[in-house]
A and B are shown apart, each in its own frame.
Chain A
Amino acid sequence: MKLKHLLFVGFIMILTFGLAACSGEEADGDSEGQGNGDDNSTADEDVTLHVAALESAYGEEMWRNIIEDYEAIKENVSIELTIEKNLEEVIRPQMQAGDYPDVFLLATDREEALTETMIKENGLENITDVLDMTIPGEDVAVKDKLLEGFSDTLATNPYGDGEMYMAPMFYSPSGMFYNAGLFDEQGWEVPETWDDMWELGDQATEQDMSLFTYPIAGYFDTFIGSMLYASGGADFFNSAMTYEEGVWETEEAERVLQTVEQLAEYTHPNTVANANPNDFTKNQQLILDNEALFMPNGAWVVEEMAEAPRSDNFEWGMTSIPAFESGEGERYTFTFFEQMWVPAEAENTEAAKEFIAYMYSDEAADTFLEAGAVQPIEGMTEKMEGQQKEFYSIYDEDVLPAMGTFASTNPVPGVSISDALYGSIDSVVNGEMTYEEWQATVQEASDQLRPEMQ
């Protein structure tokens, strides 16, 4: 009887201590990870590089191939890959426990905003020197292959100080998508200015079609970006992105907002009701069904809607955002790209930078291209075929590339410039908000963020 009691008590004690030990271990990991940002990898030492990548439409296979090729070139490096569709959820707890991957492929503008949080908390390693690195397996420097303009935007240099913290990856032009087959059939010209656009809108209305729709309001980021470029040029765009005083009250900004308000009148009536994460494909379907003519989107939409039913002789077309003035007005198309970066807390920063440099090798670029991902390096368009080539060649015909995003600020509670600028669009389209109110909202958010710029 006594023995039985003792055993029972012993068992409970083990359980209790076990639990206590588990929680203790976590705390240990935490202190270990702090301040361990120093690089302890040297050229020939064996390194285990931890790569964390988002599993996107390009698939997982592509990364396995890249790693195999890289390990063949760099024999001292072995790579441990974490690839997940919900990368943030998997990685965040590890990071909070002090266990940081060495390289991330995770773009900004994701709902969980892990990358933005890292930027805002100064958690990224400065990787400007990657540009001067020789690409592993080749004898060219990264900067000699990188397409012009990609390494000096706010999307790679978030603090606007000329230092690169994120490497540009997988670019894709975004613009207005339409049914080229319908335009041929009706004998319509693709509009080059907003005046052409409104004229086409009136013609479409006569045939019970709407001029415009959008998947969700967030897709306006590249659309409004291109319009800001077209309205005031690159410098004006940058002053808007760096929250310059009164920038949204200028004439250039005002006509952008006013144009969107006018566009609202030509927007398909069902758009707002479907502009949510559940139903946005219904808005994209409006283009396939010839119910609306244009929508802002990226090249991925072709793959996304591949299985969807469509009208006869449907053919995807993409065009730039119209110019404001006819004749000399400039047209822009936004280039969207993903980013690769190194956390400041990473253990193998040097090896991580070399891995990033390898991303711009021909070998890696070809592997990526096979999966449909395009690296921003010279000569990629020649390797493409068919529709992809057509989309990527948009800049060949007097259309200028637009790139960049809002400058990073310290986190400000309750204030988000993208909520103010893009989130209000549903209200503007519904007629609940005038462009003046919208302008005031955006200016207010911009004013609140200006002093918090880093």
Chain B
Amino acid sequence: MSKKVSRNIFITVCISPAILLFILFMVVPTFEVFRMSLYRWGGLSGSQQFVGLDNFKILWNDMDFIQSFQNTILLIVLVAIITLFFAVFFAAVLTREQLIGNNFFRVVFYIPNILSIVVIAGIFSAIYDPESGLLNSILGIVSLENWQQMWLGNQDIVIYSIAGALVWQAIGYYMVMYMSSMASIPASYYEAASLEGAGKIKQFTAITLPLIWNNIRTTLAFYIISTINLSFLLVTAMTGGGPSGSTEVFLSYMYDQAYGNSTYGYGMAIGVIVFTFSFLLAAIVSRITKRDVLEY
């Protein structure tokens, strides 16, 4: 046996458990989701009826699905933009400026991220409480009574209340990610820039932002995935999709259909859309934000 062949056998043997696990727990289930989306099936019985693309045709006209889709897109866009802005801002301040209690703020910002989403739902339902809630009380103290709202009761704003909670829990995590890449930018760049007379803002846009750009690109994909997942958890725990379906997101709608409405196949069709949508969105975002990677 030549050395090369034996080496190849060794490699194959080594990676086969991982490949097998990957196929068994990732590829097969994903394939199953795609297959089940073509069936009419309640989820328990043996009677699965092949219906082709019928489930997708029904989806096209299902206003509840379209509403949940809109809600999800709105959440992804809002959460990504607002979190990105605040996380980069705080990360820049905490790495570049010598603040008193620097470490304290790092911890404080990161805490929401270690809390379970159910705890966050509890915290925010206390904040949004119409009578004794933090938000309405503060507005009352500063005499802005007419800004007081039924944060979880008014169908026009409840989705923004959800977005608020999601942003709050996400900032710390992304801030830490940006801080780690900002910390590795050599301080000499900033010194040189300030000698040339560049202000803080110029330094940020000309040095910090380009040098952490790759990191930001990666996190954009995270925003998409985590907002899709976390919005489902938060909505389930906090509003139950209500009032009257106005906070339904597509995963909660999928769950509703697959289990609550006994239309498992239809639920899987929604799953296919979610899968394709998040895949495509992540690809598009990654594509349009592509820049030459700057080295230092």
A residues whose Cβ falls under 8 Å from a Cβ of B: 5, 8-9, 12-13, 15-16, 19-20, 23, 34-35, 92, 95-96, 111-114, 116-118, 120-123, 216-217, 269-279, 282, 411-416, 419, 423-427, 430, 432-433
Contacts and interface: CB of A to CB of B under 8 A. Distances in A.
Given A117-B262, A273-B152, A426 B242 contact: yes
A275 B262 contact: no
Contacts of B44: 92, 95-96, 114, 117-118, 121, 123
B42 A282 contact: no
A20 B16 CA distance: 12
B62 to A, nearest CB: 4
Given A12-B14, A112-B260, A273-B128, A414 B151 contact: no
Interface string B60-71: 001011000000
B154 interface: yes
Contacts of B263: 411-414
B212 interface: no
16 contacts: A19-B17, A34-B46, A96-B44, A113-B260, A117-B259, A217-B244, A271-B153, A273-B129, A275-B153, A276-B152, A411-B266, A413-B257, A414-B59, A414-B263, A423-B245, A432-B244
A120 B42 contact: yes
Interface of B: 10, 13-14, 16-17, 20-21, 24, 40, 42-47, 55, 58-59, 62, 64-65, 121-122, 125, 128-131, 150-155, 236-240, 242-245, 257, 259-263, 265-266
Contact of A413 (B13, B62, B125): B62
A269 B148 CA distance: 13
A12 B238 contact: no
Contact of A19 (B21, B40, B131, B238): B21
Contact of B55 (A216, A217, A413, A430): A413
Contacts of A412: 261, 263
A274 B17 contact: no
**Secondary structure dominating the interface of A:** helix
The 9 closest A-B pairs by CB, nearest first: A273-B153, A426-B243, A413-B266, A121-B45, A272-B153, A117-B262, A427-B244, A414-B62, A411-B262
A15 B15 CA distance: 12
Given A15-B17, A416-B261, A274 B266 contact: no
Given A9-B13, A414-B257, 5 more contacts: A19-B20, A123-B45, A269-B150, A273-B150, A430-B155
A282 B129 CA distance: 10
A411 to B, nearest CB: 4
A347 B259 CA distance: 25
B16 A16 contact: yes
Given A12-B13, A430-B243, A113 B125 contact: no
Contacts of B24: 19, 23
Given A113-B260, A412-B263, A277 B45 contact: no
A216 B155 contact: no
B240 A430 contact: no
Contacts of B245: 419, 423
B243 A16 contact: no
Nearest to A15: B17
B140 to A, nearest CB: 15
A69 B24 CA distance: 46
A275 B265 CA distance: 30
Contacts of B259: 111-114, 117
Nearest to B45: A121
